[in-house]
Amino acid sequence: MHAGGTFARPGYAEAFAIGLKPLDDPARWLAPDDRLTANLAEKDALIASRPADVFAARADTVDAQAEALALLAGHLPAAFPQTYRRTAHTIGIGERSVPVAPDADPAPLLTASRLVADDLVLMRKHDDGWRLVAASLCFPSYWRLAEKFDRPLASIHAPVPGFSAGTRKAVLIERMFDNLRPGVIVARSNWSLHDNGGLFRPQPHPHDLLPAEASIDDLAAMFLRCEDQTLCKLPESGDILFTIRVATDPLAGIFDHAGLAASLATRLRALDRPGQDYKGIRAGRDALADWLERGAARNH
């Protein structure tokens, strides 16, 4: 588990809500937290050991990648000088020094990802919709970059209930991407359940994480994973920079935080059958919701 994980984040209950909203404080965009050092170290290890699994980019995206790097290189030291130290050609983060000279960088988005705890993805408008054209993705949640790279949103979201091509939700997402204005940052959160707290989870989602008669030990051994996501449109390229910050915690810790167990139980009860299947919890959904509700009642 990462220190300062899922339950430590402000406004955690929003992870169980649906939808996009403007970032409350744009000046705090990509604010560093106590996951930064650990996430950057894990990124370094993955980039060194599995480069093809964690980075991909079309050749025609280098300029947009450089635009994203310049945006972060300008924003982070100005907004968070206690963490980021800017020199002419580098940004220092603790003992780390990251070169930030986009004109000489063959993979500027990869360099940008070395500055933040978040994964970074570039989306570009095409005739068939918005496509994933570049990504530094070290912390996927049950998906592989190779399976989504250079594919349109409708294809990327095909496994998500209600988001396949032609559905109302798919149309709304495309429209939202189209209408996003440079300078505006929007945010959303997402959650999933896992059988361990690892951040690099590219393997397919298991069909059922929990048995129907899951024991208290089974339930307490699960991990809750939260993704804080933001989107902003780059003014020069018109591409969209999509950021994903991941945190995990043992699910048993949810009872130490008022209201969170009840909030998650409510979301679980609201999941329809396709939603339960997508989350991998159809068999154990009721057992999990019962356990959360009992724990919330005891701590009320």
Distance of CA 240 to the CA centre of its chain: 15
Strand order, beta sheet including 96-99: 84-86, 90-93, 96-99
Instruction: Look at residue 235 and tell me if it is in a domain.
Output: yes
* Selection from 189, 217, 225 nearest residue 16 by Cα: 189
Cβ atoms within 10 Å of 146's Cβ, excluding its own: 11
Rounded Cα distance between 127 and 56, Å, is 21
- Sign of the dihedral through C-alpha 270, 275, 280, 283: positive
**pTM for the full model?**
0.90
pLDDT in tens, 113-122: 999 999 999 9
Instruction: Look at residue 1 and tell me if it is in a domain.
Output: no
Instruction: Look at residue 114 and tell me if it is in a domain.
Output: yes
Rounded Cα distance between 120 and 242, Å, is 6
Q: Which DSSP symbol is given to 6? A: G
pLDDT in tens, 146-201: 999 999 988 887 777 666 666 777 788 888 899 999 999 999 888 889 989 999 99
Q: Is 23 left (phi over 0), alpha (psi -120 to 50) or beta?
A: beta
Instruction: Look at residue 61 and tell me if it is in a domain.
Output: yes
Distance of CA 48 to the CA centre of its chain: 21
Confidence of residue 101 (pLDDT cuts 50, 70, 90): confident
Instruction: Look at residue 284 and tell me if it is in a domain.
Output: yes
Task: Report how many domains make up the chain.
Answer: 1
pLDDT in tens, 205-229: 777 888 888 888 888 899 999 999 9
- Domain with 130 in it: 6-295
Instruction: Look at residue 300 and tell me if it is in a domain.
Output: no
Q: In this structure, are residues 89 and 152 in contact, taking their beta carbons and an 8 Å threshold?
A: no
